[in-house]
Amino acid sequence: MNINLNVELVEQGTTLHLVLSGEIDAYTAPKLKEELLPLTKRAGASIIVDLENVNYMDSTGLGVFISALKSTKEHGSELKLVQLQDRVRRLFEITSLDSIISIDSTVRGGN
Amino acid sequence: METIRLDLENYRNLLKEYLVTKDETALYRAEQFSKLSMQHNVSPEEIVHVHIEALKELYPDLPEAVDDSLNFLLEAMISYGLAYQEFTTLRQKQSELKSEISVAARMQETLLSTVKPDIRGLEIGAISVAANQMSGDYYHFVADKDDDTLGIAIADVIGKGIPAALAMSMIKYSMDSFPESQRNPSAILENLNRVVERNVDPSMFITMFYGLYNPNNETFSYASAGHEPGFYYHSRKNEFEEIEARGLVLGATEQAKYKQYERKIKKDDCIILLTDGVTECRLGDRFIERDEILEVIQTYIDLPAQEAVEQVYKHFERLQDFHFRDDFTLIIIRKNV
């Protein structure tokens, strides 16, 4: 089973693209947190997290995004999630986190 | 040191005996010697050292290369001995930790234990199985003897293991301390949200579904804090309907409000509540879909409620290649009058 997560950062001025691929679970969430949290501390930064290639995420991953959101409010940055696969999107919907985290509405396929 | 010297004498004699006779009894005694050395904490390199000394006494004119290679072996064994010592210490520490965790797990079991109450006209089945030693799932029944109502809480702390278990205990005690007047589901969730928001790590959150059944008007009122949707089972149509209830997870923001929903429950119909440990089940590389879970529940729904939840759990446990990533909790409540 693939339990890896790859994280790639592309900076364009104040826009920070964080492209993730793999799975976000209890084992990989600490890595995501380590990469994402420092970015949210840059005032004025606009962080776009691309989840197109994330085929599995559990609640531990949601926890990382909640703490990232809290940190953006504290430090004056912005967080947006894009290209979510259906299964991942459903998690944000069930938990109603889509009401407080900005999520783009483009519907993706995925398994 | 006295014993070691005695042992050298002993070892040399054994070695000599074996080299001359090739007798197996010498081998057997060497084995005893090893066991005894271990009991006296004699390290492997000491035995190698004893061997080298004994060999040199027996054969004073060893070729230089053999002599060097024996020293080489001794050095290698010294490193081995150190690593092994460290390994033994770690293993001992690990077993200490394990026993501490099992004490904590038993304590959690006691703290969070809940009794399935006898409520007029209701039949209740509940199962909760932890993926690891300590569970982050929680369910609780609160029966009010004055007005016959039944409160049902089902919750899932994100994160696993000990931090999740500790957060669960906090939730339970907060709920116990809420005044009687605040027992409606939306008020309970609003209060809990504040407790969680103030007291737990920012990356931690809790999902919870809270329902209150009133047998006097046969009404089930409920609210959800981002919890995995449960199901309403229509027995006459043999159909499941998702119980829709929107609400933010506990602990994400301070000001969350929770909408309260209501529905009448008909005779023989069921309320089915679960945690995402049930819906995030995997079969090899594949996820088990919610529809498949419903099919399994449907198979056993006519059994008495407790038997039904146990059979559903056993079904998933039996599947080959199946593994629980998460704690598994399932509750079935049937109205039988």
B7 and B71 in a common domain: yes
> Is residue B96 a part of any domain in this protein?
no
> Is residue B104 a part of any domain in this protein?
no
B23 and B138 in a common domain: no
In which domain, by residue range, is B55 found? 2-91
B179 and B80 in a common domain: no
Residue B229 DSSP label: P
- Domain limit, last residue, from B56, B91, B126: B91
Nearest to A1 among B156, B249, B285 (CB): B285
Which residues of chain A are within 8 Å of residue B203 when distances are taken between CB atoms?
A: 33, 63-64, 66-67
pLDDT at A111: 42
CA distance B215 to B207: 26
B268 and B154 in a common domain: yes
> Is residue B167 a part of any domain in this protein?
yes
B122 and B27 in a common domain: no
A14-46 burial, b for 16+ CB within 10 Å, e for fewer?
eebebbbebbbbbebbebbbebbeebbeeeebb
Number of Cβ pairs < 8 A linking chain A and chain B: 62
B87 and B121 in a common domain: no
B176 and B47 in a common domain: no
> Is residue B209 a part of any domain in this protein?
yes
Identify the CATH number of the domain in which residue B172 sits. Answer: 3.60.40.10
Identify the CATH number of the domain in which residue B61 sits. Answer: 1.10.1240.30
pLDDT at A102: 93
B184 and B81 in a common domain: no
3-state secondary structure of B62: coil
B75 and B130 in a common domain: no
**Is this complex's ipTM strictly greater than 0.85?**
no
> Is residue B110 a part of any domain in this protein?
no
B127 and B77 in a common domain: no
Nearest to A96 among B158, B202, B249 (CB): B249
pLDDT at B170: 85
What single letter denotes the amino acid at residue B20?
V
Residues 6-65 of chain B with CB under 8 A from chain A are none
**pLDDT tens-place values along chain B, 337 residues long:** 445 455 678 888 888 889 888 888 888 888 888 888 888 888 888 889 889 988 888 888 989 999 999 999 999 999 998 898 899 899 999 999 888 888 888 887 787 888 888 888 899 999 988 777 767 788 999 888 787 889 999 998 876 667 777 888 888 888 888 877 678 999 999 999 998 888 887 778 899 999 999 998 999 999 999 998 999 999 999 999 999 999 999 998 888 999 999 999 999 999 999 987 666 655 566 666 778 889 999 999 999 999 999 999 998 888 756 666 677 899 999 999 8
> Is residue B224 a part of any domain in this protein?
yes
Residue B218, burial from CB neighbour count under 10 angstroms (0-12, 13-18, 19+): middle
B188 and B70 in a common domain: no
Domains in chain A, please, with CATH?
5-103 (3.30.750.24)
Distances in Å between the Cα of B47 and the Cα atoms of B16, B52, B98, B217, B280 are: 16, 9, 33, 83, 55
pLDDT at B307: 96
Quick: pLDDT tens for A20-77: 999 998 889 999 999 999 999 999 999 999 999 998 888 889 989 999 999 999 999 9
Task: List the strands of the sheet with B137-143, edge to edge.
Answer: B137-143, B150-157, B206-214, B219-225, B261-264
Residue A10, burial from CB neighbour count under 10 angstroms (0-12, 13-18, 19+): exposed
CA distance A1 to chain B (A): 7
pLDDT at A110: 46
Determine which of A59, A71, A93, A98 to mutate to test the interface with B (most B C-beta atoms within 10 Å).
A59
Domain count, chain B: 2
B137 and B85 in a common domain: no
Nearest to A67 among B160, B203, B287 (CB): B203
Q: Is B276 on the interface with A (CB under 8 A)?
A: yes
CA distance A72 to chain B (A): 12
> Is residue B143 a part of any domain in this protein?
yes
